[in-house]
Amino acid sequence: MKKMWTAVAFVAALTTVNVGAEQRTTEWREVTIPAGTILKVNLNTGVGSDTSQIEDPVRGTLRSPLTVRGITALPAGTAISGYVTDAARSARVKGRARIAFRFTRIDPPGPDDSTTIRTATVARIAPGTKKQDAAKIGGGAVGGAIIGGIVGGGDGAAKGAAMGGAGGTGVVLATRGKEVRMGAGTPLSVRLSQALTVRVPVR
């Protein structure tokens, strides 16, 4: 009987120690990440000017831990999410392709649920094509002048140049500009627009 009570007492003591250890590991402190902090993010959701629509979800993860005064506030792999705010295909005449999005929620580790964040908008605009367009028009004019000169001499060259230039313009009008896309895995530097407070374990 004495041995049984000794065993019970040992188990109770061990349980108390374990509970105490669990309580110690669940102590948390608040850490504030200031506005202007740069979040190093890997994009998990591909986006594109010709494939995305406004309010499409966008997801990513932190590719490196974020520390504040030597304390890890957000570990690498922390999930972050948001949505597309602007998407437009390139136009045939005017207007370059563009895509934009921002992150609005973050899911830090620990007992807290995901929380709202505010970041600057991430935006990309397709490069301009004015030089390429001019080359297409100019190339058409030169080709027309050569053919016109062969057929009708000087007057034919002038007419051919005009016709060739018009043909080159038609090619430009019929061709869309470049689209802009960011695939999954694209590294981003995202600026925090508003301070964020998270709870981290006391070590």
Model confidence pLDDT, tens digit, residues 160-182: 445 455 454 444 444 457 899 99
CATH code assigned at 87: 2.40.128.260
Burial of 122 (0-12, 13-18, 19+ CB in 10 A): buried
Q: What is the dihedral of CA 142, 148, 153, 155, to 10 degrees?
A: -90
User: Does a structural domain hold residue 20?
Assistant: no
Same domain for 54 and 97, yes or no, is yes
User: Does a structural domain hold residue 111?
Assistant: yes
pLDDT digit string, tens, across residues 6-48 = 554 544 544 554 545 445 556 888 999 999 999 999 999 999 9
* Token duo for residue 85: 């705010």
Identify which has the larger pLDDT, 87 or 201.
Answer: 87
Same domain for 105 and 191, yes or no, is yes
Same domain for 193 and 101, yes or no, is yes
Same domain for 75 and 96, yes or no, is yes
Same domain for 188 and 151, yes or no, is no
Q: What is the mean pLDDT of residues 83-87?
A: 97
Number of domains in the chain: 2
Domain that holds residue 193: 29-127+177-201
DSSP string, 100-133: EEEEEEEE-SSSS--EE--BPPEEEEPPP-HHHH
State the pLDDT confidence band at 113, using cuts at 50, 70 and 90: confident
Same domain for 171 and 181, yes or no, is no
SS3 29: strand
Say how many Å lie between the first and final Cα of the chain, rounded. Answer: 42
Same domain for 38 and 87, yes or no, is yes
Same domain for 166 and 140, yes or no, is yes
Give the mean pLDDT of the chain.
Answer: 77
Residue 196: name the closest of 28, 64, 29, 35 by CA: 35
Same domain for 135 and 37, yes or no, is no
